[in-house]
Amino acid sequence: MKRLIVVSNRVTPGDESNASAGGLAVAMLAALKKRGGLWFGWNGEICQSRDTDPEVMKTGNLTFATIPLPEQDIELYYNGYANRSLWPLFHYRTDLTLFDHRFFESYLRVNSLFTAKLAPLLKEDNLIWVHDYHLIPMGQYLRDAGITQPMGFFLHTPFPAMEILLTLPNHEYIVKSLCAYDLVGFQSASDLRAFHDYIVHEAGGEILEDGVVRAFGRTLIARVFAISIDTKTIAQQSVRAAHTKAIDRLTESLDERVLVIGVDRLDYSKGLAQRFRAFERLLENYPENRNKVVFLQIAPPSRTDVPEYTDIRHELETLAGNINGHFAEFDWMPIRYLNKGYTMQRLAGFYRASRVGLVTPLRDGMNLVAKEFVAAQNPTDPGVLVLSRFAGAAQELGEALIVNPFDVDDLSDAMQRAITMPLEERRERWGAMMETLTKNDISTWRDNFLTELERAPATLEGG
Ligand code: F6P
């Protein structure tokens, strides 16, 4: 088996307790734990000099090689181009997207630094797998450095519709850089469609059979690989968690009330303000829920140096305060709003104790919380998933209650339907979703991508 080299901006060296790290870090740790390999990326630290060698740490069959970044680049590349240009744009928030040529220069500088530090660690028989929007140019940089090993890229976010992407000043550079990889993976069919659209209508390229794409003088494969979770482990964790003191305390505190849960990084793409308003609407339109339902929203702060994240945090504090101030009773608080993260095991217990899971992003590549919520349910008395049609997960979990998260009335009606759904219907819907997640778990996702990547040189030669 070829040695796997994973590259991502964020690396989580064995720290599963950091739930605020988000989908990529959690998924890659699960994917790598079983197969082993090298994981290269930023260690979250600041450095003075760009000459620092990677710090190498080994645990079992997994090696972490991490580098710090200069403070100026953290500001311009991570807080800037990655999280104020690409992130809002890829999530269809052109109103929040900021362009600054210094952001882009720093983005290229960091991609070239990653390349320079990774290249000496590579061996002949490696498979290279680069992740996410922070590192799109790296493929071309590695090629320029003479790296000929098969190279794949996976985009964890949505790929925006062409008309949205065209507003990015460097759109051509970004898509051309994607085409330097042998294999490019997207979360869902709509992302792949958007990519094809750009290739054909903007780049004048071609879409051939078997996922083969020709553009910018390159031939590559572009396909959908829906990322998933370690379904079995999460199901087991939820059973274990159910017998812990924390879950006893949660259940006691509910005093027989129904629990509705949301778990999201504190990000404007997650639709939290609309969700809070929909919960308020639920209490207004269906008053039988007053003093009978508790909404637990866990939202660990994220990217706190980016101003748009401070804005959304203030907005949510105001909303939660207003709703609680209006509806609370001396013995009931409608919204429990927590700005902290929990371990997966604890979250699995919370999910299992909940009747309803709210996953209502305005736009999301996949959203693994949707999958985790399903995996953690009690098969004999499962909860109901309310899922945004704009999360990649909706393309697989069609048995959830699918909602338009922009429509607060639709959302509050779905909440009511979920709270009152008969057991038999809950079981049927959950059973179908669990079957999907058992078939497509994190190992299937990893193996499908890597099998295709190993085959890519032969496929492309024949193509
Ligand atoms: O693809 C987006 C992503 O990398 C996710 O995997 C994760 O949810 C989130 O962003 C983490 O963001 P950051 O590394 O900026 O904290």
Both tokens assigned to 452: 């295709």
Closest-lying ligand 1 atom to the alpha carbon of residue 78: 15
Q: Is 24 in the pocket of ligand 1 (CB under 6 A)?
A: yes
CB–CB of 323/295 below 8 Å? no
Task: State the average pLDDT over residues 365-379.
Answer: 98
Q: Is 352 in the pocket of ligand 1 (CB under 6 A)?
A: no
Q: Could you tell me the residue ranges of all domains in the chain? A: 3-228+442-456, 231-439
Residue 15: active-site member: no
pLDDT at position 398 is 98
Q: Is 303 in the pocket of ligand 1 (CB under 6 A)?
A: yes
In this structure, which CATH number among 3.40.605.10, 3.40.50.2000, 3.40.50.10680, 2.60.40.10 belongs to the domain 3-228+442-456? 3.40.50.2000
**Does position 50 have pLDDT exceeding 90, yes or no?**
no
pLDDT in tens, 66-85: 999 999 999 999 999 999 99
Cα 42 to averaged position of ligand 1 atoms, centre (Å): 13
**Does position 22 have pLDDT exceeding 70, yes or no?**
no
Assign 32 a pLDDT band (cuts: 50, 70, 90): confident
Please name the helix (run of DSSP H) or strand (run of DSSP E) that holds residue 413, with its range, or none: helix 408-419
**CA end-to-end span of the chain:** 25
Task: State the average pLDDT over residues 284-291.
Answer: 98
Distance CA 225, CA 443 (A): 12
Position 372: which residue type? E
Q: Which of 73, 156, 264, 413 is an active site residue?
A: 156
Lowest-confidence pick of 57-61, 264-268, 329-333: 57-61
pLDDT at position 368 is 96
Cα 25 to averaged position of ligand 1 atoms, centre (Å): 8
What CATH number should be reported for the domain whose range is 231-439? 3.40.50.2000
Both tokens assigned to 309: 């994240």
Task: State the average pLDDT over residues 10-20.
Answer: 64
Position 369: which residue type? V
pLDDT at position 15 is 53
- Atom 13 of ligand 1 has which residue's CA nearest to it? 21
**Does position 16 have pLDDT exceeding 80, yes or no?**
no
Cα 439 to averaged position of ligand 1 atoms, centre (Å): 25
Distance CA 325, CA 75 (A): 38
**Does position 180 have pLDDT exceeding 80, yes or no?**
yes
* pTM for the predicted model, two decimal places: 0.96
Residue 88, helix vs strand vs coil: helix
**Shared fold status for 3-228+442-456 and 231-439:** yes
Cα 24 to averaged position of ligand 1 atoms, centre (Å): 6
Residue 447: active-site member: no
Closest-lying ligand 1 atom to the alpha carbon of residue 10: 14
- Residue of 302, 303, 364, 442 to test ligand 1 pocket, by largest number of atoms within 8 Å of CB: 302
Task: State the average pLDDT over residues 93-122.
Answer: 97
Task: State the average pLDDT over residues 368-397.
Answer: 98
More confident residue, 30 or 263: 263
Lowest-confidence pick of 32-36, 64-68, 179-183: 32-36
What are the residues whose beta carbons fall under 8 Å from the beta carbon of 314, sequence distance 6 or more?
A: none
* Angle CA 332–311–300, to nearest 5: 55
Assign 298 a pLDDT band (cuts: 50, 70, 90): very high
Cα 22 to averaged position of ligand 1 atoms, centre (Å): 5
Closest-lying ligand 1 atom to the alpha carbon of residue 155: 1
- Atom 9 of ligand 1 has which residue's CA nearest to it? 22
pLDDT in tens, 251-271: 999 999 999 999 999 999 999
- Atom 7 of ligand 1 has which residue's CA nearest to it? 22
Position 24: which residue type? L
Distance CA 221, CA 452 (A): 9
**Does position 103 have pLDDT exceeding 90, yes or no?**
yes
Closest-lying ligand 1 atom to the alpha carbon of residue 157: 1
